[in-house]
Structure 1
Amino acid sequence: MQHLIKILALILGFTCTFTGFASSATEMPILGKTITQEKQQKMTPKEALHRLKEGNQRFLSHTQISRDYLKQAYQSSYGQYPFAVILNCMDSRSVPEFFFDQGLADLFTLRVAGNVLNDDILGSMEFATKVVGSRLIVVLAHTSCGAVVGACEGAQLGHLTDVLDKIKPVVQTSMEEQGTKNCADPKLIDAIAKANALRVVKEIQERSPILRDLISKKQVGIVAGVHDIKTGKVQFFEEKRSVPN
């Protein structure tokens, strides 16, 4: 009898422990919850951009939201509803989730040297917006970009050459505007990075009928930006028509 009681105690104890674990896993902290499908669908492109701006301001003022990433992982395992798509450079110093103070499953982040565009990136953006419902596309360059320096200098290295060639169309015009061809000049490099981001915003709409339609219907917004790797500040270059309310 005592043996049976011990077995039952072990079973019940394990059940309680498991139930307690499941309960704690589903309970989210007051701050830092992942975005629900309902909240994503109600969000406008302008609100999505505002959310990024607020997050960047929190990052700059050291007031980031406290998040339990393990709990966010559990919650988001049932579905993801990111509110924005970020086309970002692969630079290890430029991480959108950090300087926008966003949590797990808040952003679709697409990373490639020089934040250039190709069919794979376009297809990913189409999936993120048309299928999953993201409200905003951000083409995000950054200061002191090595890919931009390489494009400016005409560097060649295997497949990287093809990547840098995508940046070259804005190199000459930026040189003329800045009045210098010195690729060691940080102002020139940052000007090229900005021009490239703006060009990619335009190219996205030219190359993808799906994204162009979503943007024209004001269901999705699109904007360029530059992340300052020294200060963490992000500057957006938005047009009213491209980021509707």
Structure 2
Amino acid sequence: MNIESAAINILKRGVELDTKKRYTEALVCYQEGLQILVDKLKGAPEESTRAYLKEKIEEYMNRAEFIKKLVQKQKEVGQFHEQIHIENNSTGHSYKTLFGRFLDEDVEFVIVEDPYIRSFHQCQNFLRLCELLVRSCPNLKNVELVTSRDTKSESEQRERYRDLANDLRRYNVQLNAKFSDTLHDRQIILSSGWIIKIGRGLDFYKAPENKFCLGVYDLDLRPCHETTVDIVHSKNVKQSYG
């Protein structure tokens, strides 16, 4: 049966993620694959092809609905936990790919706790995250950064924050940067309850080999250091900023 190869690949990836209990990622794949099958069904002239497509659509739709209910149940009882292991030198791990599926209209504020948003490239990583937040979260109002001081060039560090804060105001987003000398945890807290904990924080990408190679701008093409990403959900995340 000649089904769109893109749908096959996406749905196979969904099953693979499903097996690894990476349910929210699997759900994205199922939804994308299902859309391709539904579009193909609309243009399928032969009844045998239509019947086959309908069977596959129902099969994957039922699994997607099961996952939705499973994730919701785990969230309600505070047991949701999804883990992603990023292997050394692997690619395909931009911030959008890792946790973009959680960035939506429900996110009104974001707290980023990371002791290493100090040097130029680390501040660039934070800037990339802010770009993603502004594009993905239409109701975003506040971003709070908790990090440590760059004792060698704190003035430059503060200047970068000021520049970014001024620009974010154009999008009606307030940036509040705080310094902590005791901060160790690295996590991104969304007001919707999702918490993304990256072992290395935002700075898990390897430096590009030169300034004119793939991965300089597209982080999905940038090789990574080995790290683990844990995604949990908490109903105790405060529902208003302040």
Q: Same fold judged by TM-score > 0.5?
A: no
TM-score normalised per structure 2? 0.29
Q: For the pair shown, which has the larger CA radius of gyration, 1 or 2? A: 1
Larger proportion of helix:
1
